[in-house]
Amino acid sequence: MVKKETSKNVSESDIFPISRDKMFQLILDNIPTRIFWKNRDSIYLGSNHLFAKDAGVDAAPNILGKTDFDLAWKKSEAEFFIKTDQKVMDRGESELGIIEPQKHADGKESWLETNKIPLKNDDGEVIGILGTYSDITERKKIFEDLKQKNRDLELKNKELEQFAFIASHDLQSPLHTIINYIDLFQSENKKELSDEGQLYFDFIKDASTRMKELITGLLEYSRIGQDIQLETIDCQVICEDILKDLQGLIQEKNATIQLGDLPEVVASSVEIRMLFQNLIENALKFSKPDIPCKIEVTHSDKNRYFQFTVSDNGIGIDPLFEEKIFIIYQQLHNKTTYGGNGIGLAHCKKILDTFGGKIWLDQNSKDGARFHFTIPK
C-alpha cells in the first residue's frame, strides 16, 4: 500500500526561480502585441517591451510615471491618445478597433489598430485604462492599394461601357440604311435580278440583319446597371406577365410552365424582367422537338438571399461549357437551328453581378438544363 504524503505549505520561490513581478513582465514581453496601462490621469504605470521600444524608452519599467507628451509621439498624436483615454474612462466602456497613426522613436510612421479597456476596482470605479495595439501598416497599405485598383478598374469599366454604347448606337443607323436599301433595290429590280443575284442580296440582308441584332444586344448589354432604380418587385407578377407575352412561343412549343410561389425582391424591375425572360425563353428555344416542353421556376429562402431555379426538359448543356455560356456572343448550337445571338446568359450574369447575386449551371441535372441564381435580400 502506497503511503500518501501530507500536503505542506509551498512558497512561490520554491516552485519558480523568479518573483511574481518579473514573471508577469516576462509574460508581457513575450506577447507579440503592444500592451500598456495608465492611471486615471493618463500617466503610464507599465507596458511590455514592444510598446516601450515604439515609445523610445530603453526598458519597459522606465515608462512608469511618463505621459504621452514625454514619449516619441508627435504632440497632435499625444493629444489624440489622451483624449481617447479620457473618453473611454469617462464612459466606462471599452473602445475597440481604433485606427490611428503613430510616429515611432526611430522616425518610422505606422498605422495602428488599438483597443482601450477601462480598468475598474472592486467597487466598479474606473481607476485607469488598459491598452493594446497591433501594427497594421502593411495591411492598410494593401487595403489602400486595392481601393485604388478598384477605382481604376471602375473607371476603365465605365470607359468600356461608354465606348460600347457609343459604338453600337452609332452603328445602328448605317446598318438600318443598308437593310432598307437592300429591300428597296430587291423590290424595284425583282424582274431584272437573276436567281443568283437575289440569293446574293438575301445573304447580304441576312448578314446585315444579324449584325444589327448583335449590335442591339451589345447596346442592351452596355446599359445594364446604368441608372438603376431600386424598388420592391413581385417576381410572381413579373413571371406571369412574361408568360403572357410569350404565349405564342409557348403554344408553338406545346410547353407547360409551372411557377412556384415566388417572393418579392429589391432590385430594378427592368433588369429582373430581362433576367427571368432570358432564362424562360432559352428553356423554350432549346426544347426537344419530339416531346412537350416542361419548364419549372421555383425558389428557396437561404436567409441572406433568395435562390431561384429555372429547369427544363430540353436538350441540356454539357457541364464542360459552363464557363463559356456566360460569355457574350458565345453559342454552343447551330444558329440556323436554334437562332439567337449568344447574349442572353451574358445579360443574366451581368444583371446578377450588378445586384451582388450569382448564376450557375447545375451540373447534376440529368434531364435538360437547370440554372440556379441568387438575389440578395
The enclosing H or E element of 110 equals strand 109-120
Please, what is the Cα angle at 76 between 58 and 85, to 5 degrees? 75
* Whole-number pLDDT of residue 337: 47
pLDDT tens for 82-126 read 999 999 999 999 999 888 777 766 777 888 899 999 999 999 999
* Whole-number pLDDT of residue 343: 77
Nearest Cα to Cα of residue 47 among 57, 82, 81: 57
Query: Which band of pLDDT confidence, cut at 50, 70 and 90, is reported for residue 140?
Result: confident
pLDDT tens for 196-229 read 888 888 888 888 877 777 777 666 666 666 667 7
CA dihedral over 329, 331, 334, 335, signed as positive or negative: negative
Rounded distance between C-alpha atoms, residue 83 and residue 26, angstroms: 30
Average pLDDT, the chain: 83
pTM: 0.49
Query: Which band of pLDDT confidence, cut at 50, 70 and 90, is reported for residue 338?
Result: very low
DSSP class of 3: P
Query: Which band of pLDDT confidence, cut at 50, 70 and 90, is reported for residue 329?
Result: low
pLDDT tens for 124-139 read 999 999 999 988 888 8
Whether residue 326 has pLDDT greater than 90: no
Nearest Cα to Cα of residue 76 among 46, 51, 109: 109
